Amino acid sequence: MPLKRRPLDRESGVVRDASLVVIASEDTYAVQHYFAKFHARRVQFKVLPTAGGRSSPEAVLERLDSYRREYDISEGDELWVCIDLDHWAEAAHIANLRRVQKEAEDKGYSVALSNPCFDFWILLHFEDPPSDGIRRCGDVADRLRQILGGFTKRSIQHLRLAPQQVEQAIERARQLPVVDRLTPGGPTTQMHRVLESLLTREAIRLKEPR
């Protein structure tokens, strides 16, 4: 069966030769709501969220595999696997997580890990990384609730973010330890890597906050 054409949304102003950025995530709402905050004419985001509770690293990778099997992926398109280390980096799961990461990289996918979770990337838009007290995703959510007066995964769609905050989050993430080897350590994230190349290519800009 021939592959389907790349699903570019022309009504959104995406140009004909736009690149696809496909992001498979274990989140149901957060990642999709975050990237919806960006205008993009030269790229289009396609987030493959978790559905039906299938959030394991294997399930995240399989969603990206299925998408690549179904659609025509072109040179310049980016395929990302975004995985949280919370729970999956525990002793009983770490070997499996390493296997999934290696399999993804062998297939040519980019991998962005967050410790403990994607919400930590959101926190970096508002403050420097806390020196302590962040071990689980619940700790991150507690800190965001203190800063914002309330926070849930769904509330990311309502966050008011300015371009300067995105730039600060990227710079803060750059200073954090690398998690490629899945070694134990403090909170960190690689989500800035998804944005860096796109900002360098001037492919996206943040929508004005309302």
Q: In the chain, where are the structural domains located?
A: 10-206
pLDDT 10s digits, 135-194: 888 999 999 999 999 888 888 888 888 888 999 999 999 998 776 555 556 788 999 999
Predicted model pTM: 0.86
Model pLDDT for residues 49-106, shown as the tens digit of each residue: 887 767 788 899 999 999 999 888 888 889 999 988 876 556 556 778 888 889 999 9
* DSSP string for 58-69: HHHHHHHHHHHH
* Number of CB atoms found within 10 A of residue 130's CB: 14
**Residues 92 and 56 sit within 8 Å (Cβ to Cβ):** no
Q: Which residues of 163-190 are buried (b: 16+ CB within 10 A; e: fewer)?
A: eebbebbbebbeebeebeebeeeebbbb
Q: Which DSSP string do the residues of 75-93 spell out, in sequence order? A: TT-EEEEEEE-TTTTSTTT
Handedness of CA 164, 167, 172, 175 (dihedral sign): negative
